[in-house]
Every structure is written in C-alpha cells, then in structure tokens.
Amino acid sequence: MDENLLQEVVDAALKAGADAAEAVSAERRALSISVRLGELEEVEREEARDLGLRVFVGRRQASVSGSDISADARAKLVERVVAMAKLAPEDPYAGLADPNLLARGALPELDLFDPSEPSAEALEEKARTAEAAARAVPRVTNSDGASASWSASHWIMVTSAGFSGVHRASGFSLGASAIAGDEQGMENGYEGRSVRWQSDLPDPDFIGSEAGRRAAQRLGARKIASTTAPVIFENRLAASLLGPLVGAISGPSIARGTSFLKDKLGQQVFARGVTVTDDPHRPRGLGSSPFDDEGVANRTRNIIDDGVLTTWLLNSSSARQLGLTTTGHASRGLAGPPGVSTTNLTLRPGDRDQAGLMRDAGSGLLVTSMFGPSLNGNTGDWSVGCSGFWFEGGELAYPVTEITVAGNLIDIYGRVVPGSDLEIRGSSNAPSLLVDALAIAGL
C-alpha cells in the first residue's frame, strides 16, 4: 500500500459527498517465540495490512476500517463511511487539523527502523539462553518461560488538507520470568526489554540472570503492620506515577471537567527542580514519531518545568473545545477519532542514586512491584497494591509483600524527590522517586 492509493481513497470520499477526509494504512509483520523449561512452547507469526478512512460531512464525522484493499472493497468502504457520516450527530469541534500546523517538508530522521529480520531459530536461541541463565541462579526452582520477538510496521497517512506522511518502525523484545522457592514459599521475578534496534537489546544472559536474581531476592517476604513512612518507587516502575498525570492533563479530561488538575495550569504541581519532558523526536525512542496522528508537527515540550504545569495535552478537537491550539498529541488507531497520548515521557533525574535516597530517608519502603492501582480522577486520591523491601539505616533489611500504598497525587507530586538512576526502558521513564511519607496499609 502506498501514498498514491490512499490519495485515491481520499479523492473518492470527496467525490462521494465528504467535505474532508483522511486515510491511513497500517502494515505489520511480527514473529514471537516463547520457551519454557528448555522446550519450545509457542510460535506466533503475524502479517496484517489494514486501511482506515475518516470523513467529515459538515461537522458530522464517521470512520471505518478494513483489511480488504481491493478496488471493490475500497469503493464500498467509501460509500459506507460517507453514508454513516451523513447520519452521525453533529460535533461542533470535529474536523481535520489546521493546515498551518501540519508537518511540512523534510521530516526528522529518528532512526526507528532496523531492517534486519531475525529468523525463528535465532529468536528461539535468545529465549533459550535467557531462560537457561534464569534457571541457573541459586534458589531458582522453576520457570515461567522466556520469549523473544520481532516486529516491523509501516504507517501512512494522507488527508484532504494536503498532508502526506510515512512512518516506519521496528521492534525487538526479550524477556524472562523465573520462580524461586524455599520452605517458606515461592516468588516470581521478571526482566525484559523492548528496543527499536536489535543491537540495543541487552545480552540474553543478563536478562535471564536478572530475572532469577529478582525472584531469589524476594524469598522470605514478610507482611508488615500498617504505618506511615517514606516510600521509594524503584526506577523500573516509578514512571507509573506519571500515568495519572497524563490522564489528568489530557484535553478531553479538561474539557469534561473531570480532572484533579483542571485548575492547576501554570501553577506549581511538583516540587521545584522537577522537570517532566515529552520528546517525540528521541532517536530510536519507543514512543517516537515524526508527526502526530493528525499529521501535526510535534516537538519536545517540558510538560512540567521546574515543578510548574505548563500545558495541556491537546489534539485538534479538544483544542477547539478549549479555545486553544493543538499541542501535537493526537493519537489514533485505524478507526475512530483521535485521542490524546504522550510520546517519550521522561521525568528528569536528580543528583542522588537509589542508595542515596534510602540514606536520606533512613527507614521506609522500597517498592519494586505494583498492581491493581485505583484512582479517583476528580480528586486525585490514589492507591496501589505493592511489594518490595523494607529498608532501615539506609540499607535493605528484608522483602515485604501484601501491602497497599495510598495518598493524594497532588500531595504526592508536590513532595517527589527524583533519584539519579534514570534508565530509558520504554516510552515512559523516571528515576527512582522518593516521597517522604505515605500511608502504608499492611496487617
């Protein structure tokens, strides 16, 4: 599928009665291998090619998608979506992005596509090596398996406003899960990475050994009494605290008035010194893209600058509703109107490593696993199930389990102290984060 075919689809929609249209195509190839206990467990291969079309008739819109891109199927797709749009309710904020905001000229080179395509045998060998390394760790007694995968995607967008853009990306991942056991019980440990280029993947032996180490380290986990104490969120999961932030400053949430940060624009939300950056143009970034999903030119922004909330996250529709300009954060699939999302979100590091944060706190909880978060989007009241380690005198003392950490995110954000151990592992990243006192529910 190419840009010329999508332009034909857009032109056909206009001839059929649409006032504006955008067509997108997505091609994806993927291969995934999983092993368990040294044996091949599953092989999954995917090859998909899909077409999506969104049209506007006045302020009415509709969208459809399909995998049949033959001439007859395209004609039916166009006919159906224009008919749907004519019957849709009016949306005063619907429409394509402002042509003046579209990405024009040469797009940034983001180095997102690795042309190498590993064989099933090569992926299987990586998974086997990772699992073997995990099982070789002392006190590891079983395995939940290991997996290795590869993918390649090709995204094209063409609109009647004159935008045409292509986005290619590849993905490579490797992960292992180990089970450690003793007379007191069993514990799980996992390690995995996803990258754009195969050469950026860690060695399989490291992945497996780290999964095994984390499982064995959890043995002997205790329950603790409820208390209030300093809490450090490990860098592997600390970015989870940014998820509610993204939801709270997204344009649709602000427009609905359902955000605990709806009155905080331009105000101090985090402690001074805290900066959260969204960078769509990070080379090889897992969230990188040369334009947003409306074709709007995107750029790096400090969403939080020295603790101050500087912007909402807007697509064209929510920007119109709020009387503002889109920030280039539109995100969409093949069908349906765009939503809002970040690209590569990063909370910038401080000057103390995790050990330094523990020394500063003295005693408290180091969270290494989180599950079942609960958030009141209107108030910011937040809680999450956790496990991790209790530390005393600035040193790890023993593993703990079956606890819940709770607080209000406005209060938590205002007291966050970033560590220096930032590690880019995904599209949302943060160093270890210290909060000087949080309610911990245990026994």
State the angle between helix axes of 120-135 and 204-217 in degrees (0 to 180), rounded to the nearest 10.
30
pLDDT tier for residue 443 given thresholds of 50, 70 and 90: confident
Rounded to whole angstroms, how far apart are CA atoms 191 and 175?
6
Give me the residue spans of the domains in the chain.
3-216, 221-443
Tell whether the model's pLDDT for residue 342 goes beyond 80.
Answer: yes
Whole-number pLDDT of residue 383: 97
pLDDT tier for residue 442 given thresholds of 50, 70 and 90: confident
Give the strand pairing for 227-233 and 364-375: parallel
Instruction: Check: CB of residue 298 under 8 Å from CB of residue 292.
Output: yes
Handedness of CA 357, 237, 173, 187 (dihedral sign): positive
Q: What single letter denotes the amino acid at residue 149? A: S
Q: Residue range 145-149: average pLDDT?
A: 98
Instruction: Check: CB of residue 22 under 8 Å from CB of residue 158.
Output: yes
| Domain topology for 3-216 | PmbA/TldD fold (3.30.2290)
Residues 6+ apart with CB under 8 A from 88: 57, 60, 61, 62
Tell whether the model's pLDDT for residue 168 goes beyond 80.
Answer: yes
Tell whether the model's pLDDT for residue 188 goes beyond 80.
Answer: yes
Helix H, strand E, coil C: the string for 34-86 is: EEECCEEEEEEEEEEEEEEEEEEECCEEEEEEECCCCHHHHHHHHHHHHHHHH
Whole-number pLDDT of residue 333: 85
Rounded to whole angstroms, how far apart are CA atoms 301 and 282?
12
Tell whether the model's pLDDT for residue 164 goes beyond 90.
Answer: yes
Q: Token pair for residue 26?
A: 């997505």
Longest dimension (CA), the chain: 73
Instruction: Check: CB of residue 83 under 8 Å from CB of residue 53.
Output: no
Rounded to whole angstroms, how far apart are CA atoms 369 and 102?
41
Residues 6+ apart with CB under 8 A from 111: 196, 197, 283, 284
Instruction: Check: CB of residue 67 under 8 Å from CB of residue 42.
Output: no
In sequence order, the β-bridge partners of residue 36 are 39
Instruction: Check: CB of residue 246 under 8 Å from CB of residue 345.
Output: yes
pLDDT tens for residues 345-368? 999 999 999 999 999 999 999 999
Q: Round the average pLDDT of the chain to a whole number and report it.
A: 96
Helix H, strand E, coil C: the string for the chain is: CCHHHHHHHHHHHHHCCCCEEEEEEEEEEEEEEEEECCEEEEEEEEEEEEEEEEEEECCEEEEEEECCCCHHHHHHHHHHHHHHHHHCCCCCCCCCCCHHHECCCCCCCCCCCCCCCCCHHHHHHHHHHHHHHHHCCCCEEEEEEEEEEEEEEEEEEEECCCCEEEEEEEEEEEEEEEEEEECCEEEEEEEEEEECCHHHCCCHHHHHHHHHHHHHHCCCCECCCCEEEEEEECCCCHHHHHHHHHHHCEHHHHHHCCCCCCCCCCCECCCCCCCEEECCCCCCCCCCCCCCCCCECCCCEEEEECCEECCCECCHHHHHHHCCCCCCCEECCCCCCCEECCCCEEECCCCCCHHHHHHHHCCEEEEEEEEEEEECCCCCEEEEEEEEEEEECCEEEEEEEEEEEEEEHHHHHHHEEECCCCCCCCCEECCCEEEEEEEEECC
pLDDT tens for residues 65-101? 999 989 999 999 999 999 999 999 999 999 999 999 9
Gyration radius of the chain over CA positions: 24
pTM: 0.94
Q: Residue range 416-432: average pLDDT?
A: 97
Residues 6+ apart with CB under 8 A from 68: none
Rounded to whole angstroms, how far apart are CA atoms 316 and 95?
8
Whole-number pLDDT of residue 2: 82
In sequence order, the β-bridge partners of residue 13 are none
pLDDT tier for residue 335 given thresholds of 50, 70 and 90: confident
pLDDT tier for residue 334 given thresholds of 50, 70 and 90: confident
pLDDT tens for residues 93-145? 999 999 999 999 889 999 999 999 999 999 999 999 999 999 999 999 999 99
